[in-house]
Structure 1
Amino acid sequence: MTQRIRFLLVFWLTSFQLFAQTAGDSLPTERRYPLKAFIVPAMLVGGGAALLGHPTREPFNQSGHVSSADEYLRFGPYGLRVGLQLAGIKPAVKLGDEIAVTVVSNIVMGGITEGLKRTIHSTRPDGSDQRSFPSGHTAVAFTGAELLHQAYKHKSPWISVAGYAMATATGVLRVANNEHHWADVLAGAGIGIASVKITYAVYPVIKRKLQRPRKPAVR
């Protein structure tokens, strides 16, 4: 069973390249989305898959709850984007497109995360259920961080750093709170980043098809 699950994860990782090769242009630059953009999320998900079923020794006290900050911190990158918008700092894409890629990215992320949870049935460190892999909180946080990076990387690298710092802190707290293994948060981070990159690859194609003028009906 474990071998089958790992095969499915490896197959999913290779699909990143298929999306990048066939999906078309990226949203902000109208250029073909580079394959190298999927290296980091593939490594994160691959690392999580490699650790799946082999829980590492956690460097935290496993008997207690450290903090509830992860419940709110996962939305930090989204809040920062809203704050920048309200401050008049414009993102790299139009507001309508930004809202669209945010919605689609979260749908992709949620579908992948929930599908893996229902398929793998990994037990949480505290034994509460079998929905440990991957970490949904971490996936949400890194989806937000990657969306923030794509929208404001042209302004300052420190904006991206702030988003990824909040996402990383979310993942660490999930482990510290005995909710997840390191494998879960690594995979969640990779899924979050990949979901945004997949969306940025396919969204321009979908948008062009929807905006293509319809041919007048022949009477």
Structure 2
Amino acid sequence: MSAGRLRTIGLGSLLLVGCAATPAYRPTPLNGTPASSAVSPSATPRLRPRSATAPTAPASTNVAAADDGRAFGPGVMGRPDHEGFDAVGTVATAITVAMLVPLTFADDLETRENTGDVLQILLPTLALTGTLVEGDREGSVQFTKSFLTSWATTYALKYSVEKWRPSGANTQSFPSGHTMGAFAGASFIQQRYGNRFGIPAYLAAVFTGVSRVDSQNHFMDDVVAGASISMLSTWYWVTPISDTTRIDPVMTEEGGVGIGISVSNETAHTIRDHHHQDPDDFEKRFRFEWSFGAAYQSENVVQSPRGTGDPIDLSEFKDTAETMTTSQLVFEYYPAPRHEFDFRFSPFEVRDTGTLAQPASFAGSTFPANQTLGSSYQYYDSRFWYRYDLLEHSRWTAKLGLALAIVDLNVAITDGTQTAEVGETVVLPALHGHLGYWFTPRLRLFTETDVSSFEGDDLVDGTLMLRYDMSRQWDIGLGYRYVHREIDVDQLTNRLDQSRGLLSIGHSF
């Protein structure tokens, strides 16, 4: 599996998460009790008799209905103009794919980079313009707040982290501003108006992120950071347009009974309710987490080929930086009580320079001692889990499960006149364990570990995390992750010891 395909897995997961994160519209039926999105006519509350006092919906559009006792279910509303992925969405997606797929695999790197430059401006522009065309004043306000939050967070990190770009041009690599802009537009379009145009917008945003990696402007973890910042900002500020729509029974001028459809523009009230009060019927099915922090390598020894090449410790190549900032994303799915499926994409890349104390052979090339060499180390870890919760309704949490790690590793060394490069993809099954304790209903400490030893490849990956639930939908965490990994295949061996500090932000939906 190539690094390009691993990039597709990682960034493609953001598209799936973004489309899954739009909450289904669940209008309140006429008796005020929560309703599911599909209610049978027999179970739907009927309109009040003509003699009853019917509430008047402000700024409503009345639709007359005969007083024949017919039921009006919550299914009559939703997002009729935006909700489904219908023929319009299919055509829009097909056009997007037809335009971007040839560019993705084309050799013309400059064209791909220029296209990404355009999309990072075009997508947020389309998002804001769409609110104006729709007359969606509330959407305009929400997009502005979401975009400004993403922009401020991204550039605050850029100028505080000061991570070198892969090209060495400057120290503004983390996070990716282009990816932030593209995902700010795409995530707003999808969250506010649904999948019809949200899916093609996300496809264009993913292309933008890939173009930033291919053009040597960013590492993959920079792109993950930019995309995650925008998606989290959108989920915080933006509500689906149907959340501001309600249905009420009304009396017509002729004395008949009708339904009133009202659209509220009370922006401040809607945002306040959306962010500071959990829905009464909220049930967590999914969770997205983005975490970032400094990473330090205590050992990173590579050898190619196995047995005949010379061991080279890339952790000694640290002329530029001894530590580097990296990030990862996690997506969790809870299909049933006590059962959990998770995915984590954790890319790590470092490029630096250093010298060898003595000549060394790597991938068929011999590099001299006491001469400045350049190194490139690229490690993409895509991890899948199934976990079973052993303890329900307890202060203690204990989970056991299985993990599958797909590791794509690429190493290159150059002295300016010759370059030696080798890459391998390794699949590692692993055992997973989780143990935690709730100090309060909101604060918990837990540790998680993956352990594997399979055909000469070893893995010990442990995390210690303190997490605080700000609400039922939002959490923050502070933690530490340690990774020991040994890969032993014919063309490449690698022994890595790495430590990471983690600051995490999670959103459940």
Query: What TM-score do you get using the length of structure 2 for normalisation?
Result: 0.25
Q: CA–CA distance in 1 between the matches of 2:270 and 2:199?
A: 35
C-alpha separation in 1, matches of 2:148 and 2:128: 20
Q: Is the 8 A contact 2:173 2:222 kept in 1?
A: yes
Residue 77 (structure 1) shift: 2.9
Report the CA distance between 1:209 and its aligned residue.
Answer: 9.9
1:131 — aligned with what? 172
- In the TM superposition, residue 75 of structure 1 has moved relative to its aligned partner by 3.0
1:151 partnered with 2:192: yes
CA shift, 1:83, in A, is: 7.2
What does residue 137 of structure 2 align with? 96
Within the candidate set 116, 120, 127, 1:70 is matched to: 116
Query: How far apart are 1:95 and its partner, in Å?
Result: 1.3
C-alpha distance 106-79 of structure 1, shift in aligned 2 (>3 A):
closer
Matching residue of 1:165:
203
CA distance in 2, matches of 1:107, 1:83: 16
| Residue range with higher mean Cα deviation, 64-73 or 186-195 | 64-73
TM-aligned CA distance change 1:171 to 1:209, over 3 Å: closer
Asked if 1:112 is matched to 2:153, the reply is: yes
Structure 2: tracts of 5 or more residues without a match:
1-22, 29-104, 240-264, 272-509
Q: Structure 1 residues 133, 30: CA separation in 2 closer, same or farther (over 3 Å shift)?
A: farther
Task: List per-residue Cα deviations over 1:55-85 (Å, max 9, x = no partner).
Answer: xxxxx9xxx7453111111234335446766
Q: Which amino acid aligns with 2:268?
A: K
1: CA distance, partners of 2:151 / 2:129: 24
Q: Alpha carbons of 1:147 and 1:68: their partners in 2 closer, same or farther (altered >3 Å)?
A: same
C-alpha change, 1:97 and 1:168, in structure 2 (3 Å) is: same
AA matched with 1:110: W
Q: Which residue of 2 aligns with 1:12?
A: none
Which structure has more strand as a fraction of its residues?
A: 2
The residue number in structure 2 matching 1:207 is 268
Identical-pair percentage = 27
- Deviation (angstroms), 1:144: 0.6
CA distance in 2, matches of 1:123, 1:206: 41
Structure 1 143/30 Cα, relative in aligned 2: closer, same or farther at 3 Å? farther
Distance 2:146 2:139 in 1: 10
Whichever residue aligns with residue 176 of structure 2, its letter is: S
Give the counterpart letter for 1:171 in structure 2: G
1:74 and 1:166 in contact (8 A); partners too: no
| Corresponding letter in the other structure for 2:116 | D
Question: Who is 2:323 aligned against?
Answer: none
Structure with more of its chain in helix, by fraction: 1
- d(CA) in 2 for partners of 1:119 and 1:200? 28
Aligned-residue offset at 1:195: 1.0
Q: Extract unaligned runs of 5+ from structure 1.
A: 1-25, 32-59, 211-219
Q: Is 1:179–2:187 an aligned residue pair? A: no
Within the alignment, does 1:193 sit opposite 2:198 as a pair?
no
Indicate if the aligned counterparts of 1:76 and 1:166 stay in contact, CA closer than 8 A. no
Q: Write the deviation string for residues 20-76 of structure 1: whole angstroms up to 9, x where unpaired.
A: xxxxxx9x8799xxxxxxxxxxxxxxxxxxxxxxxxxxxx9xxx7453111111234
User: C-alpha separation between the residues in 2 aligned to 1:206 and 1:95?
Assistant: 11
Shift of 1:190: 0.3
1:184 Cα deviation from its structure 2 partner: 0.4
Q: Deviations over 1:106-149 (max 9, x none)?
A: 11001110111111111001111101000011011111111100
Between the two structures, name the one with larger relative contact order (CA 8 Å, sep ≥ 6).
1
C-alpha distance in 2 between matches for 1:110 and 1:159: 23
Evaluate the alpha carbon distance shift between residue 101 and residue 164 of structure 1 in structure 2; reply closer, same or farther with a 3 A threshold: same
Query: Residue type of the partner of 1:181?
Result: F
Q: Match for 1:164: what amino acid? A: Y
Q: Is the 8 A contact 2:113 2:212 kept in 1?
A: no
Question: How far, CA to CA, are the matches of 1:118 and 1:85 in structure 2?
Answer: 32
Q: Distance in 2 between matches of 1:134 and 1:71?
A: 16
Partners of 1:162 and 1:209 in 2: CA distance = 28
Residue 208 of structure 1 aligns to which amino acid in structure 2?
A: H
Q: 2:173, 2:217 within 8 Å by CA — same for their partners in 1?
A: yes
Q: Which protein has the larger Cα radius of gyration, Structure 1 or Structure 2?
A: 2
TM-score normalised by the chain length of structure 1: 0.56
Local SS of the residue matching 1:68: helix
SS in 1 for 2:160: helix
The answer (yes or no) to whether the contact 1:135–1:180 under 8 Å persists in 2 is yes
How many residue pairs end up in the alignment?
A: 144
